[in-house]
Amino acid sequence: MSNSIFLQSFQGTNKQIPVWFMRQAGRYLPEYQALKKKHPLQKMFDTPELAAEITCLPVDILGVDAAILFADILTLPRQMGFDIRFDDRHGPVIGGTIAGDLHHREDIHDADDFSGLTKTIHLVNEQLDGRVPLIGFAGSPFTVLTYLVEGGSAVNFTRTLRFINEHPVHFQAWMELLTQNTVRYLTAQKEAGIKAFQLFDSWAGILRPADFARWVLPFARRIFAEVDLPSVYFVRNCAHLLALMDQSEADFLSVDQTVVLGHHSVIEKTKKGIQGNLFNGLLYADDATLAREVRDVLVGGVKHGRYIFNLSHGVFPDVNPDKLKFIVEQVHAFENKR
């Protein structure tokens, strides 16, 4: 797969800017919605044939330069024994939330059965047939732990912040357990055939830099150090954390709309590649506005040398797929004169 501009970007040898989108395999596609009418979300995650089909849809429809595995960041803790179900309307619903010492949870164990995941990856690579590489992923230990503490999605993360401050030893132990299992999970993906991976730290941006340095960065560094593949580290609401993100072992930093590419002192100096960061809200703009905004991101992005075009975070479910096709065309037509 030496002709993949996505993989070439990790070496800085690509002549064209690669593009893919977070949440590209999913809800906004009519083809996905057709499958959703026939199958509940849980079945779509659990059935390798369905997950593989959904993973490949954006490659065929949008022309992106990489596929990303159709799964959920809570797939791993579900394998560890947590009571997690994926509700079609409300997303993840978690029973038996974390509130204390992990040694009191006899139902929790190391994840040891990745057979479904492995089969999905094999099927995806068969269907892709070398056209583009497959990106694997995992939720970061911190972000996953917020869901397990909060019982699902949250706004203020009060339970998480309370747990950190009232039970720091227990919080540390849960982070250790999730970290070692995340390494196992990503290693299984690597052995099955992914070519790169992204670690999603969607909620680490709620923390101050000092707290990020204590509760997030050491565990992220271990994951990137122990999983030997091209890697991307995504943190949402990350502008105040960039200097610390730069200390991770990731090859690329994926930044959101809180960072202006080409005009930030940390990423101007970093030796890491940069991914991002068209604001998702612009997916509703007219084509002229969208073309201008895409170009602004590209002009800033290529200043960093190694660069991958992406969004600030995931595709919204009501976005018109034609907008994403338009972006792909704009990115591929961009003259990279670095």
Is residue 59 situated within a structural domain?
yes
- Is the Cβ–Cβ distance between 246 and 271 less than 8 Å? no
Pairing of β 91-95 and β 83-87: antiparallel
Model pLDDT, residue 132 = 98
> Residue 2: its pLDDT value, please?
73
338 found inside a domain: no
Per-residue pLDDT, 19: 98
Give the alpha-carbon dihedral of 199, 203, 207, 211, to 10 degrees.
-40
Residue 140 in domain: yes
pLDDT at res. 91: 74
Map tokens 């917020």 to a residue. Answer: 146
- Residue whose C-alpha is closest to residue 139's, from 219, 257, 44: 219
CA distance linking residue 150 with residue 141, whole number of Å: 14
The reply to whether 40 falls in a domain is yes
Per DSSP, what are the bridge partners of residue 86? 92
CATH number of the domain within which 216 lies:
3.20.20.210
How many CB atoms are closer than 10 A to CB 269?
A: 10
Helix residue ranges, H only, 151-286: 158-166, 168-192, 209-215, 217-226, 242-245, 265-269
* Residue at 184: amino acid letter: R
What's the confidence (pLDDT) of residue 203? Answer: 95
Low-confidence ranges of the chain (pLDDT < 70): 88, 100-104, 337-338
Structure tokens at 322: 């034609």
Is residue 93 situated within a structural domain? yes
User: Which residues span the domain enclosing 277?
Assistant: 5-333
Local structure of 19: helix, strand or coil: strand
Cα 89 vs. chain centroid, distance in angstroms? Answer: 22
Q: How many folded domains does the chain comprise?
A: 1
The secondary structure of 318-330, three-state, reads CCCHHHHHHHHHH
Q: Assess if residue 256 is contained within a domain.
A: yes
Quick check: 294 and 259 in contact, CB under 8 A? no
Question: pLDDT tens digits, residue range 42-54?
Answer: 899 999 999 999 9
Q: Is residue 324 part of a domain?
A: yes
Is the CB of residue 246 less than 8 Å from the CB of residue 278? no
Nearest to 87 by CA among 121, 45, 41: 41
pTM equals 0.96
Residue 125 lies in a domain: yes
